[in-house]
Amino acid sequence: MIHEILKNRWSPYSFSSEPVDEVKLNSLFEAAGLAPSSNNEQPWLFIHVTREKADLFDTFLGFLIESNRVWAKNAYALAISFARLNSSYNGKPNNYALHDTGMAVSNLLTQATSLGIFVHQMAGYSANKVKELFKLRDDVVPVAIMAIGYRGDGKNISHELKTRDEKRRGRNPVSEYSFRNALPEKYVKS
The residues of the shown chain that bind ligand FMN, judged by CB under 6 A, are 10-11, 68, 121-124, 144, 169
Closer CB to ligand FMN, 34 or 123, in the complex: 123
Helical H segments across the chain, by residue range: 4-8, 22-32, 54-63, 66-72, 97-114, 127-134, 159-166
Q: How far is the CB of 71 from ligand FMN (least distance, A)?
A: 8
Closer CB to ligand FMN, 49 or 105, in the complex: 105
d(Cα 75, Cα 60) in Å, to the nearest integer? 12
Q: How far is the CB of 64 from ligand FMN (least distance, A)?
A: 8
Q: How far is the CB of 68 from ligand FMN (least distance, A)?
A: 5
Closer CB to ligand FMN, 20 or 122, in the complex: 122
CB-count burial class (<10 Å; 0-12, 13-18, 19+) for 129: middle
